[in-house]
Structure 1
Amino acid sequence: MQVSKRFLALLEQQLAQFTDRPDLLALVVYVAVPEPGGQPSLVAIGHWPQSLALSERTGQDRTVPAETGRRWLALRDDTMLLGALRVDADRWPWPNSLSERLEATARCLTEALRLDLEQQRLGRELSDRDDQLRLLLHQLRNPLAALRTFGQLLRRRLDGDARNLPLVDSLLGEQRQISRYVEAIDHLTEAPALISSERSNPPLLLPAGLSQGESESLEQILRPLLERAAATANLQGRSWNAPNDLPSWHGDASALGEIVANLLENAFRYSRSGGAIGLHCQAGEQLELSIWDSGPLIPSEEREQIFAKGVRGSNGAALPGSGLGLALARDLARELGGNLELVVPASRLDPELPEAGNAFVLRLPLPNAS
């Protein structure tokens, strides 16, 4: 359990007020850390005097005779033990003046520690909500891009149709407006949080509302994504290569759909303009889906870094993006029991694929695999 620098500053100030008490030998403050067995352990976080040895700070010393006034004051929030104040004095019982001051210090540290831990909890909740909001905004761009693509194709087919063209123009205008709202919300999330906390980055997983775990066939999951990819390729004037047949596979429709959608979006956004893109699919001991492009090759020093949260490759640095897509896709793949990796060049997967292309390979266990 970590405590903030502000709490440590208050702790030092509280302990320093006892320099006028020659009958005190040492003061040590501990914080309770939960253990797997359920019983908390005490970890020292502050002490007085500053010359106190490390072994004394951990409570393992034997320098204070048993007959002296070593006592413990619990730092407790209702029934929850937050920590303890260890007092080493040269006598017991303590004088009333010392006892009152120590009890007041214990109450002050208890309240400060309670507030500090509560602030950290709120900070974690705010961080989680901010991450989920960023993920939702990131994922919202995919269907918005598809709406724009289908709308532009429809407008091209209706060229000269004075009756229906205004309707298509209105739809495209609404799509642009929604995109502006999305960008505005995205800018709001860039504001610094009022409450922060130090923590390791958790996996990027979809919010519960988007991750229902519904099982569908591979064909059901990929059909709308392949149609979207074909439309995008048509609009961009590039070749799209879809598999003729898909293996028999059932799995988490939401997670697999999000993974493939992100990989396709990246391929169309960051690959060479006009270059071919495709999906390579095979099933042996596991399901293997590969989204490949025709280049440019991702630099070797970036091939693992781009899977980290917020990291973007140099090939797409000038293009809009958040650096969340690949991190989300890999985390979802691992949640499904598989993995996502980059294979360069794409021809390593199949000699017919481009020698100068990238391939993001998703490998998932088969439903009947142990």
Structure 2
Amino acid sequence: MSRPLRSTSTRLALAVMGTFLLAFVLLGAGLHVAVSTLLLQDARELVRTDAAGLLQLEREGGRAALVQELRERLDAPEDPDAVYALVAADGRAEIGDVPAMQAASGTRWATFDLAGKTARGDAQSRRVLAQLQPLPGGGTLVTGLRLQSQDRFLALMLRTALVALAVAATLGALAGWLTSRWVSRRLGHLDRTAARVGGGELGLRVPLDGSGDAFDRLGRRFNAMLDRIEELLGGVRHATDHIAHDLRTPLTRLRNRLEDLRHRSGTTPAERAALDGAVQETDHLLTTFGALLRLARIEAQAAASEGPEFDLSALVADAVELYTPIGAERSVRLVPALTPARVRGDRDQLFQMLVNLLDNALKYAPEGSEVGVSLRGDAAAVLCVDDQGPGIPEGDRERVFDRFQRLEAHRGTPGSGLGLSLVRAIVHRHGGRIELLDRAPGLRVRVVLPRADTTGRIARAEPLE
């Protein structure tokens, strides 16, 4: 239960519901107090008027007239809720059925329970509001009113309020849920856009509704930030591409001249060895620039979801067959486990992706180990390349996809640091996702591509085997 309560949406829903219920309880309590006070004032006014009439009768006709009037009212009551009594100085009731009470020294109000059956046949005790007035000849006149009608009305109000509270709690929960859903939906656009931009879709932007509220302003600032990031990255990419393109021609000329010098007569073995090293370095630069240009072309191309349909397993089998002799030279065995998986896209680019993945796996796999290549086509085409090498630390797994990024432990091995950048660009162009996972020991490169009979990009992670 602790994790849902830490959710901002849950806390927002609870806050809305709590505020709704608190407002309802305060309103209901205020209404109950106001109605109760009004009913009590009305009851006091009725008792006061009735008592004034009896006192007037006592002043005009004496104690006998008052006693006779009280007995007549008790024998044949006009108001079944009216209560009358005459209490002696010792607190004993001379007329009427009221509990023993102290004689009044002055006019005062009292509330007590009166047991016994009422005129309606109700045997339950009822609250009585009474006015106690001392009489000139001694004793106390008790004039009261049963509050059972007021109590029943207040009880009905309480039951109605409880039902209304349950309805209000339901409506409050619904209002809180709808509010949290609305907020989550507005933030969801931002979250999904950030996730997809982080996955490489730099041209994606947050949809705006034009309302100008806080969420809309946040979306505008987020889009402005993405525009600036895309502009900066585009400038760096274009500069890199132009450099790569402009340097290929002079590098090619330089390599040709080095080749001429190497094959000239009279070149000493030491000079030939130096020229061989220079030619290798030049070839490495040309390969790097070629990879940069290929990467730039792939990133500039539209999505390949409308490409021709083919079986990816056949392409994987060709790549495994191509690299099996290379693996045998290094005493590394390739172990394929392929099932049919039909995809759409560019066969040449996907083959380039497979070549780069297998080349990396064989480069870092220890001698005498195996490299597993599996493909399954369930909800999506899932390709896994597993090696038993040193692996990649978790903190570096995203960084290795950047251009020219190489781990310190791998800087002594051949390569330019563009292989995984090229792989990720191909995967993203085909609407897929690439992940680097720990095999302990070794590394698993998992590529998830949409099947040919599905549309859209891969959004959810497939379960690990």
Larger radius of gyration between Structure 1 and Structure 2: 2
Fold match, TM over 0.5? no
Taking structure 2 as the reference length, what is the TM-score of the superposition? 0.35
Taking structure 1 as the reference length, what is the TM-score of the superposition? 0.44
